[in-house]
Amino acid sequence: MAASDPATAARRRRSNLKAERIRSSWIFLAPMLAVLAFVAGWPLLKTIWFGFTDASLDALSAADFIGLNNYLEWVDYGDGEGEYFGLLADPDWWRAVYNTVFFSVVSVFFETIFGTIVALVLHAEFKGRGLVRAAVLIPWAIPTIVSAKMWAWMMNDQFGILNDLFLHIGLISQPIAWTASSDTAMIAVLIVDIWKTTPFMALLILAGLQMIPQDIYEAAKIDGINPVKVFFKVTLPLIKPALAVAVIFRALDALRVFDLIYVLTPNNSQTRTMSVFAQENLFQFDKFAYGSAASTLLFLVIGIITIVYLKVARVDLEGGR
Amino acid sequence: MKLLKSIGFYALVVIIVVVSVFPFYYAILTSFKSGTAIFQVDYWPKHFSMFNYRMVMTQGSFPLNLLNSLFVSSVVVVISLFLAITASFALARVKFRGRKLLLLTILSVSMFPQIAVLAGLFEMIRGLGLYNTLWSLILAYMIFTLPFTVWVLTTFMRDLPVELEEAAIVDGANSWTIVTKVFMPLMWPALVTTGLLAFIAAWNEFLFALTFVSNNDTRTVPVAIALLSGASEQEIPWGPIMAASVIVTVPLVILVLIFQRKIVAGLTAGGVKG
């Protein structure tokens, strides 16, 4: 009786269809998830595991569990004397932490300011805007290693154009060894990073600017409000969400910086970041386990910030549906 | 007052353009200098010599490195697009339990610091016998290209009209047919953009390429450029380095300028790293 009822039959067909869709969607997802688990999930767990062992580069399989000793270990010399070892007691590690945080805060700060200025310029109507936007994209398109080399050449202490230019306009009185001197190495790294990533910042902020309805500006114009005031009272609050997302995204990227520093200022304790510290220990100093522990700590820091980001940005997972 | 304002504005525009373009311009300038001309600072082109280009393309392994990069990046793009299309269809068009969690996981993987998987991946690659081969890089690059392509294609697919799909369902099409026959033809612009961005990311990658490959002939270009060195510390071959830099950058700059609008849209949709 019920089976002959056309409404029920249609309902059953629809639910069969839904089941088929859900089944096939898991088949669709499986290869991608398998690859991700293989190249990301498993290696991550292995890295964390190595951080709790005494693994060395030549004897990875012979690693023994040593607990938290890579992080902190009290070595007793007897007679109540002893010393702490491990990452948390390693001044070089804390120096790397400080460098990373300093680099991230300063670079993101300037990138946000310059990015906003560039975005405001690109948002304005003027002749040749397309050309300017193309020009702004160039630093973004250049590989990081190439920009590091280009700037290393421009910052060369004897033949660099930067010293030549600054000497001519009287900004400095003698040539500076930008990348080698410990006073300026961090400044050099910051200059290159800000140059390279400001375009990305500008594009994200520009996307935010373009979402503001135009009539708000017209209303402000009619009321004769000073443009600077309009920017701080109207524009800035409206692009704040876009700005927040851009800042956190850049910060996450800055915290893991490696290439630029490795190439521009190699072996310099003033610019050694957490990533560089970990890589050196893993593959150059034959302290594989110690490097793994450092990687794990960096992962934790970035993990926490990612969670904050997902909360702050309230990432759109449903697509407004 | 108005004139002053527009002069100020155009001055700002000029500064932005000059700062953006100058380093690349200067690299091109340097790459055409040879001999001692390199050590003399010039703001305008005065020399024209192909010496550095000939040097880079005939001596050493740079041509091989170029081919390596091209091979790795292309294979990475093809594999990740293939895996991402079906996955993003499921994520964008089908409602199932655990979808939100999956999307969150994928997004978090894209923010992974590469260094966090370096030790584990190194062990795996040695275990699989892939150390010092290009396949190690193809495998490793999935970690950043895959989450990114899935994420961007999912956002794109979500915005396609439901009616298209409904019509296909009424005609009795299954999910595979819907993806390949209905969505694929509409997705070309998105595929080109995401493919291009994934290509650039793979082309530029440095940390994995530095770690998993140790032979001059199997290196990719970023590592090759970083390790180009002369006989001593004082003899860094700036000319050839700049020529190599120009060679690897010019195609990227041209691609970026051609696909400008699409790239901007893809970047803002994916919020990818620069």
Q: Is B98 in the same domain as B18? A: no
Can you tell me the distance from the alpha carbon of B220 to that of A20, in angstroms, rounded to the nearest whole number? 44
This prediction has a pTM of 0.88
Asked if residue B192 and residue B266 are part of one domain, the reply reads: yes
Domain range enclosing B146: 61-270
CB pairs under 8 A between A and B: 287
pLDDT confidence of residue A246? 83
For residues B11 and B75, membership in a common domain is answered with no
Domain shared by B69 and B44, yes or no: no
Reported as a single tens digit per residue, the pLDDT across A243-276 is 887 888 888 889 999 999 999 998 888 999 999 9
CA distance A245 to A201: 10
For residue A182, the distance in angstroms to the closest alpha carbon of chain B comes to 18
> How far is residue A37 from each of residues A76, B75, B97, B109, B159, measured CA to CA in Å?
42, 20, 19, 10, 28
The CATH number covering residue B255 comes to 1.10.3720.10
Contacts of B115 in chain A (CB under 8 A): 256, 258, 274-275, 278-279, 295, 298-299
User: What CATH code is assigned to A92-285?
Assistant: 1.10.3720.10
Looking at the fold, whether B134 and B220 belong to one and the same domain comes out as yes
pLDDT tens digits for B150-168? 988 888 888 888 887 888 8
Measured between beta carbons, which residues in chain B are less than 8 angstroms from residue A196? 274
Would you list the domain boundaries of chain A?
92-285
Half-sphere exposure of A314 (CA within 13 A, CB side): 2
Yes or no, beta carbons of B119 and A291 under 8 Å apart: yes
Contact A179, A264 (CB under 8 A): yes
B149 has a chain A CB within 8 A of its CB: no
Going A198 to A203 to A208 to A213, the CA torsion angle's sign is positive
pLDDT at A320: 41
The reply to whether B172 falls in a domain is yes
Count of domains for chain B = 2
The nearest alpha carbon in chain A to B120 belongs to A43
Gap between the Cα atoms of A121 and B234, Å rounded = 43
Tell whether the model's pLDDT for residue B271 goes beyond 80.
no
Interval A41-84: pLDDT, tens:
999 999 999 999 988 888 787 788 888 888 988 888 888 788 88
Judge: B158–A150 Cβ closer than 8 Å, yes or no.
Answer: no
Within this chain, do residues B86 and B183 fall inside the same structural domain, yes or no? yes
Q: Please state the ipTM of this predicted complex.
A: 0.89
- How many C-alpha atoms does A35 have within 13 Å on its Cβ side? 24
Contact B104, A310 (CB under 8 A): yes
Report the residue of A14, A25, A32, A282 to disrupt the B interface, i.e. the one with the largest count of B CBs within 10 Å.
A32
Whether residue A14 has pLDDT greater than 80? no
Helix intervals (H) in A267-287: 274-283
Note whether residue B96 is domain-resident: yes
Q: Say whether both B173 and B45 belong to one domain.
A: no
Q: Verify that B188 and B90 share a domain, yes or no.
A: yes
Whether B68 is in a domain gets the answer yes
Query: Is B163 part of any domain?
Result: yes
Predicted local confidence at residue A2, as pLDDT: 47
Q: Is the same domain home to B95 and B222?
A: yes
Specify whether B16 is located in the same domain as B105.
Answer: no
Q: Is residue B180 in a domain?
A: yes
Looking at the fold, whether B23 and B82 belong to one and the same domain comes out as no
Per the CB < 8 Å rule, is B245 touching A310?
Answer: no
Within a domain: B54: no
Chain A, nearest residue to B257 by Cα: A134
Burial classification of residue B36, based on how many CB atoms lie within 10 Å of its CB (0-12 exposed, 13-18 middle, 19 or more buried): exposed
* Same-domain pairing of B37 and B77: no
List, in order, residues 6 or more apart from A37 with CB less than 8 Å away. Answer: none
